[in-house]
Structure 1
Amino acid sequence: MRDYAKELPEHREKFIGENDLFLEIFHGNHGSQRAGRPPLLFVHGAFTGSWMWSKYIPHFMAAGWDSYCINLRGHYKSRSVDFTRVGFEDYLEDIQVAIAEIVDESGSPPIVIGFSMGGILSQKLAESVEIAGLVLIDSSICKQVHHEVPYQGLAPQAHGLVVPAPARGEQVSADEIFEDIAFQRKYLSIESGKAFSAFSFHFGAEGISVDGSRISCRSLVISAVGNEDDDRRGRAAARHIGGEYLGLAGTTHTGLLVGQRYHEAVSRIMDWLARLQV
């Protein structure tokens, strides 16, 4: 199995905050660095960690972007915690700790790039915390978007105080080869049931309310599109926060980060970042 996390370029690592959150820091290539660029903060989704960004990071480093990858409490190499006591608000606090660390180190708030659960966390945070921009990659949707384009035929799954890691028993997906899935299978871990019960409609949640009018930074929404509802939902999410939209047909949720077409999302983010800095 190819372990992309072990192929990452040389970088710094540190533990921050009272929960010893594991933060990976990748400095952009000096020759490509432009003065005044804000750093990037990557926020992973449920069950995962900073390892999920392993294919993305080298591209942003090569383009001169300083990148920070946070691990929420209990995830990857962050200190183990009792997941039965961890909720959505705790994860929001973790991201604020990371932003404070970045501001202290770099002198400017970051552009936040959130995936899945990390996306709904980042949206909620952007209501009240200053950030330089917001990118959502197949983000969990807020209550308002679900009201506009609800999931059809949901049979909410029961869960306990923790949610077991996805088995990923399949060999391939629409945009992932065996190596991509095996890589995820190696690292996927349990998740907080309390957090899921707050944001996941698939687990019977009422959803997280996001006031789009309070998100003042420029934003980009990227969605994996398998059907018309996926596209409608992604467009609604972008409208709700006043952002740009890209729907990638034939891609999957995790494939956008570690699949064979991940570079399409990276290219669009790079283009958006370039225009953000004009």
Structure 2
Amino acid sequence: MRDYAKELPEHVSKYIGENELFLEIFQGNNSSPQCARPPLLFVHGAFTGSWMWSKYIPHFTSAGWNSYCINLRGHYKSRSVDLTKVEFENYLDDIRQAISEIAEEYAVPPVVIGFSMGGILSQKLAEGVRIAGLVLIDSSICRQVHDEVPYRDLAPRMPGLIVPAPARDEQSSADETLDDIAFQRKYLSMESAKAFAAFSFHFGAEGISVDGGKITCPSLVISAANDEEDDRRGRAMARHLGGEYLGLEGTTHTGLLVGQRYCEAVSRMMVWLARFAENSSQPSKPRLASSRPT
């Protein structure tokens, strides 16, 4: 099994806040904290951690972006906590803690990049916290988007005390190799049932309300669009936030981060991020890291 987390560029890490959140910090090539570009803050999804960004990070550091990967409480190398007591709002506090840490180094707020559960957390955070931009990758949807394009034929499952990690015992995927799947299986862990009960319609949640009018930063929504309803939800989310949209057919939820077509999402993000580099004294040409095998 290929462990992509062990192929990350050299970086530093530290624990922050009273919950000892594990924060990984990657210096962009030819960049510094004084760079005019905003840093990037990557927020992982349920069951995962900063390791889920292992294929992404080399491209952004190669292009000069300083990048931070937060691990929410109880995830990956963050201090273990009792997940039966962790709520959606606690995860919001964790992201605020990371932004506060970044604010000590930079004069500009970060661009927040959220995947899945990290996406709905990032949307809610953006209502009241100043950020430079918002990128959502196959994000969990808010209540307003669900009202417009509801999931059909759901048989909601009520979570127990915790939600166990996905088994990922499948032998094939539309866009993931067996190595990609095995990599995830190695690190996937349990998740807070209370958090799921707040945002996941598949677990009977009423959903998280997001006031799109309060989110004034530029935004980009990228979705795995495998049918018309997936595409409609992605477009509705982008419209709700006043942002741009990219739907990628034939991709999977986790494949957008660790699958064989992840570079398509990264390429679109690079183009979108170029707006923040225009006034930077650092090179700003959007590009991918050179021929990194997947």
- Tell me if TM exceeds 0.5: yes
256-265 or 98-107: bigger deviation? 98-107
How has the CA–CA distance of structure 1 residues 227 and 32 changed in structure 2, closer, same or farther, with 3 Å as cutoff?
Answer: farther
Alpha-carbon separation, structure 2, partners of 1:48 and 1:106? 27
- Runs of 5+ consecutive residues of structure 1 not aligned to the other structure: none
Deviations 1:195-233 (A, max 9, x none): 000000000000000000000000000000110000000
Q: Does 1:127 pair with 2:127?
A: yes
Query: What is the Cα-based RMSD across aligned positions, in Å?
Result: 1.3
Counterpart position of 1:259: 259
Alpha-carbon separation, structure 2, partners of 1:55 and 1:69? 13
Percent of aligned pairs with the same residue? 77
Is residue 38–residue 276 contact of structure 2 (8 Å, CA) maintained in 1?
Answer: no
| Corresponding letter in the other structure for 1:113 | I
Alpha-carbon separation, structure 1, partners of 2:33 and 2:225? 34
CA-CA distance at 1:32 after TM superposition: 10
Alpha-carbon separation, structure 2, partners of 1:202 and 1:3? 31
Is residue 37–residue 276 contact of structure 2 (8 Å, CA) maintained in 1?
Answer: no
| Equivalent residue runs for 1:166-205 within 5 Å | 166-205=166-205
TM-score by length of 1: 0.98
CA-CA distance at 1:97 after TM superposition: 0.1
Alpha-carbon separation, structure 2, partners of 1:252 and 1:112? 22
CA-CA distance at 1:30 after TM superposition: 1.2
TM-score by length of 2: 0.93
CA-CA distance at 1:34 after TM superposition: 9.3
How has the CA–CA distance of structure 1 residues 173 and 138 changed in structure 2, closer, same or farther, with 3 Å as cutoff?
Answer: same
| Corresponding letter in the other structure for 1:205 | A
CA-CA distance at 1:158 after TM superposition: 2.6
SS of equivalent to 1:221: strand
| Equivalent residue runs for 1:1-278 within 5 Å | 1-30=1-30, 35-278=35-278
- Structure 1 stretches (4+) deviating beyond 6 angstroms? 31-34
- Runs of 5+ consecutive residues of structure 2 not aligned to the other structure: 279-294
Alpha-carbon separation, structure 2, partners of 1:51 and 1:95? 17
Is residue 31–residue 66 contact of structure 2 (8 Å, CA) maintained in 1?
Answer: no
CA-CA distance at 1:276 after TM superposition: 3.9
| Corresponding letter in the other structure for 1:267 | S
CA-CA distance at 1:159 after TM superposition: 1.6
How has the CA–CA distance of structure 1 residues 105 and 34 changed in structure 2, closer, same or farther, with 3 Å as cutoff?
Answer: closer
SS of equivalent to 2:105: helix
CA-CA distance at 1:35 after TM superposition: 3.4
Counterpart position of 2:281: none
